Chain A
């Protein structure tokens, strides 16, 4: 077969809805785009542990301390699961885990914009667990049908565990919503603070980026950013309102005629800053991650048991 024929046969497989496996022939473009996408997802889970772990030492009850620890542990676990899939696919490119992680520090690999944001109060923890994880579930559900088999399979496990995360987050938010005036206020302020980040989470409505086009072409991802954002609103806004909380967007409403939620667009240019790791806490969090990773190089070397002189 010529390269073109192979490519055509591969696209036919994709169009038939077949699953691609790690050892299958695939165009270089597919492999490279996929590795990048999964690398970003994995690194986002790993970086995503950082905002919440800030609150473990300060969690206000023993039960919350435990629950939050378990949730953060899960995020690291998801990072591990997805990273392993990325590693296996990247191996023929000569890339190892070390390479994939170091690209985070050089800025070649990005991590999700939502994890560049500050979490200054306990209530932020609740909002993250409930709504950020909620957004992640909406967006991950669209990946469950991904053409890449190993990724689709690992996401089933990830999505199952996210269910617990949302319950955990809801539990914190419900306690605050039903608590003292100060607790309610803390919750409302946290929501106000995170609202823009939640809009930005799904990315801009119209994206003509090369990689977004590729992702849809190869059925790696099957929904658009706006589809997902609307789905998120439908799922969570009624619940937010039911707690007596308000959105910091006075124009937010359901439009019956259009069959969609109308919202004030966030400042999309913030995504550019974040992509350059110039978001509010980008450098701080990368600093933590880099410091711990580099300081522990000697530990990883010891695990591989080089000879003691």
Chain B
């Protein structure tokens, strides 16, 4: 087994979930409806939990301590898709958080659907610990997908304004969706037994009917493959990720190796 490829793949998985969960956690206390604040926080926790599990697999492969991998690696080494590092809206979570729920719902749905497709592939990975972990995580994803699909439908069919805002969110998401499907330095093989086309096709097969069901037009333009613009899977990131990492590691860096 090519360990280098496995490590690359694990970083993609871990970094995706860490960044997604981190952005989701910025919504704590600020979500549009109190009951939803509570529900959404569980999804954010699940994502950080998944990231932790993937970093632990990397730790077992001798890459270093999970916390170091999460907090210390510079942006150029990160393998998350760029879509996930984009801010939740204008402002920051501390200053004037003009967060966009339409964008958040759009992003959460396209990412979770992609993750569901990817996890299914991973259950067939030749690396047994990863296959087992993927099987476990898949069950948690059921609720995530139900949650995001429900919100997608509510916004699409709720009011004129919610529909407009969801569409605007989708328009912001779409140019970078392709970056999720990029495989970076991971070729199709027994560690990751699927091609980019497989992933995109399966994802489209699930998502397209959902758009139809609420009368939303499938956004024009092909899902970029390979991605035009920044390819997060090859370590190309926006300044958004640097800012995110600076915040995330702010305390950790004051004493790496210390017990917290």
Binding site for B on A (CB under 8 A): 46, 49-50, 53-54, 56-66, 69-70, 72-73, 76-77, 79-80, 83, 122, 172, 175-176, 178-180, 182-183, 288-289, 291-292, 295-296, 298-306, 308-309
A244 to B97, CA, bound (A): 40
Query: Which one, B48, B70, B96, B163, contacts A291 given CB within 8 A?
Result: B96
Q: Mark B41-71, 1 if CB is under 8 A from A, else 0.
A: 1101100110110010000000000110011
Would A302 and B159 count as touching, CB distance under 8 A? Answer: yes
Would B258 and A77 count as touching, CB distance under 8 A? Answer: no
- List the A side residues contacting B37 at CB < 8 Å: 73, 76
A159 to B55, CA, bound (A): 35
Query: Which residue of chain A has the shortest Cβ distance to B100 in the bound complex?
Result: A295
A295 to B104, CA, bound (A): 14
Would A76 and B41 count as touching, CB distance under 8 A? Answer: yes
- List the B side residues contacting A183 at CB < 8 Å: 255, 258
Would A298 and B51 count as touching, CB distance under 8 A? Answer: no
- List the B side residues contacting A58 at CB < 8 Å: 247-248, 250-251
Query: Which residue of chain A has the shortest Cβ distance to B157 in the bound complex?
Result: A308
Give the interface centre of B52, B98, B252, B260 by most chain A CB atoms within 10 Å. B260
Would A300 and B33 count as touching, CB distance under 8 A? Answer: yes
- Report A157 CB to chain B, min CB distance, Å: 14
Comparing B22-30, B140-148, B181-189, B198-206, the segment that makes contact with chain A is: B22-30
A257 to B51, CA, bound (A): 57
A22 to B252, CA, bound (A): 49
A295 to B252, CA, bound (A): 33
If A62-B52, A77-B38, A122-B260 are given as contacts, then 20 extra A-B residue pairs at C-beta distance below 8 Å, sorted by A number, are: A53-B93, A56-B28, A57-B22, A60-B252, A62-B51, A62-B67, A66-B49, A69-B41, A69-B45, A73-B45, A80-B34, A179-B259, A182-B254, A288-B29, A292-B29, A292-B32, A292-B99, A295-B99, A298-B165, A303-B33
A66 to B255, CA, bound (A): 20
Would B158 and A302 count as touching, CB distance under 8 A? Answer: yes
Using known A-B contacts A56-B25, A296-B33, determine if residue A73 contacts B42 with beta carbons closer than 8 Å: yes
Taking the complex as formed, is B212 at the interface, i.e. its CB lies under 8 A from any CB of chain A? no
Would B258 and A180 count as touching, CB distance under 8 A? Answer: yes
- List the A side residues contacting B93 at CB < 8 Å: 53-54, 57
Binding site for A on B (CB under 8 A): 22, 25-26, 28-35, 37-38, 41-42, 44-45, 48-49, 51-52, 55, 66-67, 70-71, 93-94, 96-99, 101, 154-155, 157-163, 165, 247-248, 250-252, 254-255, 258-260
Query: Which one, B66, B163, B247, B254, contacts A62 given CB within 8 A?
Result: B66
- List the A side residues contacting B34 at CB < 8 Å: 46, 76, 79-80, 83
Query: Which one, A53, A61, A295, A298, contacts B29 given CB within 8 A?
Result: A53
Query: Which residue of chain A has the shortest Cβ distance to B28 in the bound complex?
Result: A53
Q: State the main secondary structure of chain A at its contact with B.
A: helix
Query: Which residue of chain A has the shortest Cβ distance to B67 in the bound complex?
Result: A61
Would A292 and B30 count as touching, CB distance under 8 A? Answer: yes
Query: Which residue of chain A has the shortest Cβ distance to B37 in the bound complex?
Result: A76
- List the A side residues contacting B101 at CB < 8 Å: 296, 299
- List the B side residues contacting A66 at CB < 8 Å: 45, 48-49, 52
- Report B253 CB to chain A, min CB distance, Å: 9
A258 to B256, CA, bound (A): 48
A-B contact pairs, 29 of them (CB 8 A): A56-B26, A57-B93, A57-B248, A58-B251, A60-B71, A62-B48, A63-B52, A69-B25, A72-B41, A73-B42, A76-B28, A79-B34, A80-B38, A179-B255, A182-B254, A288-B30, A288-B97, A295-B99, A296-B33, A298-B161, A299-B162, A302-B158, A302-B159, A304-B158, A305-B157, A305-B158, A306-B158, A306-B159, A308-B163
Kindly list the 10 A-B residue pairs having the minimum CB-CB distance in the complex, ordered from nearest.
A302-B158, A296-B32, A302-B162, A299-B32, A292-B30, A49-B29, A73-B41, A60-B251, A53-B28, A60-B260
Would B251 and A72 count as touching, CB distance under 8 A? Answer: no
Would A301 and B255 count as touching, CB distance under 8 A? Answer: no
Would A61 and B252 count as touching, CB distance under 8 A? Answer: yes
A291 to B95, CA, bound (A): 11
- Report A132 CB to chain B, min CB distance, Å: 16
Query: Which one, B29, B55, B252, contacts A72 given CB within 8 A?
Result: B29
- List the B side residues contacting A180 at CB < 8 Å: 255, 258
Would B25 and A122 count as touching, CB distance under 8 A? Answer: no
Using known A-B contacts A295-B99, A299-B162, A302-B154, determine if residue A57 contacts B260 with beta carbons closer than 8 Å: no
- Report A267 CB to chain B, min CB distance, Å: 28
- List the B side residues contacting A306 at CB < 8 Å: 158-159
- Report B143 CB to chain A, min CB distance, Å: 15
Would B33 and A69 count as touching, CB distance under 8 A? Answer: no
Would B158 and A303 count as touching, CB distance under 8 A? Answer: yes
- List the B side residues contacting A61 at CB < 8 Å: 67, 71, 252, 260
Using known A-B contacts A62-B48, A76-B34, A122-B251, determine if residue A302 contacts B161 with beta carbons closer than 8 Å: yes
